[in-house]
Amino acid sequence: MRSHLRGMTHHYCGTTAKMPYSHVEFKMNYKAEEEFPDLSAHNNHMAKVLTLDMYKKLRDKQTPSGFTLDDVIQTGVDNPGHPFIMTVGCVAGDEECYDVFKDLLDPVISDRHGGYKATDKHKTDLNPANLKGGDDLDPNYVISSRVRTGRSIKGFCLPPHCSRGERRAIEKLSIEALNKLSGDLKGKYYALKGMTEAEQQTLIDDHFLFDKPVSPLLLASGMGRDWPDARGIWHNDNKTFLVWVNEEDHLRVISMQKGGNMKEVFNRFCIGLQKIEEIFKEKGHPFMWTEHLGYVLTCPSNLGTGLRGGVHVKLPHMSKHPKFEEVLTRLRLQKRGTGGVDTAAVGGVYDVSNLDRIGSSEVDQVQMVVDGVKLLIEMEKVLEKNQPIDSLMPAQK
């Protein structure tokens, strides 16, 4: 192989060598051991699952759009571990990845999603009528409520891999679809590129604006490419329904409002999503969805519902209680600081949201948030009176 390359370097005529047609083939010049990443210092799901044998088997494969195993795992190789969060360490570049690289991704999904098997089926339920209660979370404690999810548009590569042309096509389709929304969902699109100072400031003040990713996890997977080309934010006039275009996923859909009326938030969420989905379907570009994976998104951690529903809630006593973590685990909830992932809690206010994504429906997950937060507030009130919470301890859900 090398002697052929030497010929090519100096003159391009007269050689009948078969030239490699992609870097994947070129890399086959090196043994699997030579190409295998050093994961000895790593702590993420990918590093725990990927073996040399698996690498040998998958390294010469690529999806029809050209995404390879090395592309899938690069972010996990470059980012050995997050101090507080067990990161996934791999991404999908297109829908087919979940099939071509299933030997790697199925076990990663299983580890990440509590044992979800390759044969399991995922249930989708976006009927808000099925949510019980949720309209009366105590506003003295619950500052705001929010539900978000992501959607990928079939026929396009995902953010780590999409070309500029694809990204622009996604933006164009999204704008067309969103412009068809009416009533209290009626709104406007703000492209990141060419946004005025004034618009930018308003969006920042409303906490709507997303910025170029700085997280090395996202950058290492290629999601920051061509920023801010074809990125933008759409929101309704009431500022309760928000769509991010081409950030970490093709679409991120967010419903939110001040106070504790999670039912209303979820209602708007479901209706808005379904309306958007209809429009995309009409245009021949439905959302990526399978019976096994549910809604297909870039990061394997967001498969299934891709839903994170939660509240900003004041729990100054509860959060200092030694059993706080245990309660959350039993309720199948997680906490974050109030700046979102990777931030600390300010003034005892926590972002409490569902832990699960796959294997349970949207209604199930929001129900867990509603029920769980209600209990946490009860416990907080009890602690305020200096009484123990033992009798309130929940069973493992």
**Taking CB under 8 A as the rule, does residue 222 contact another protein?**
yes
∠ CA(88), CA(116), CA(60), 5° rounding?
55
- Minimum CB distance to another protein, residue 5 (Å): 5
Q: Specify the DSSP class assigned to residue 369.
A: H
Strand partners, 258: 144
What are the DSSP E strand ranges found in the chain? 142-151, 187-191, 232-236, 241-245, 251-258, 289-290, 294-295, 308-314, 333-336, 349-354
Rounded to an integer, what distance in angstroms lies between the CA atom of residue 261 and that of residue 109?
A: 32
Interface residue with another protein among 43, 65, 124, 290 (CB under 8 A) is 65
Closest to another protein by CB, 89 vs 93, is 93
**Taking CB under 8 A as the rule, does residue 56 contact another protein?**
no
Rounded to an integer, what distance in angstroms lies between the CA atom of residue 336 and that of residue 350?
A: 6
- If you count them, how many residues does the chain have? 397
- For another protein, the binding residues in 13-52 under the rule CB under 8 A are 13-16, 18-27, 29-31, 34-38
**Taking CB under 8 A as the rule, does residue 281 contact another protein?**
no
274, two tokens:
């379904």
Q: What is the dihedral of CA 281, 283, 289, 290, to 10 degrees?
A: 80
Closest to another protein by CB, 89 vs 222, is 222
Interface residue with another protein among 131, 220, 271, 366 (CB under 8 A) is 220
Q: Which stretch binds another protein (CB under 8 A): 42-50, 75-83, 237-245, 378-386?
A: 75-83
- Determine if residue 310 is labeled as part of a ligand binding site: yes
Q: Which residue has the tokens 């990927």?
A: 50
- Minimum CB distance to another protein, residue 35 (Å): 4
Q: Which stretch binds another protein (CB under 8 A): 143-151, 164-172, 292-300, 368-376?
A: 164-172
Please name the helix (run of DSSP H) or strand (run of DSSP E) that holds residue 268, with its range, or none.
helix 262-282
Closest to another protein by CB, 87 vs 236, is 87
Q: Which residues bind another protein (CB under 8 A)?
A: 2, 5-6, 8-9, 12-16, 18-27, 29-31, 34-38, 62, 64-68, 70-71, 74-75, 77-78, 93, 155-156, 160-161, 163-166, 168-169, 193, 219-222, 224-226, 229, 285
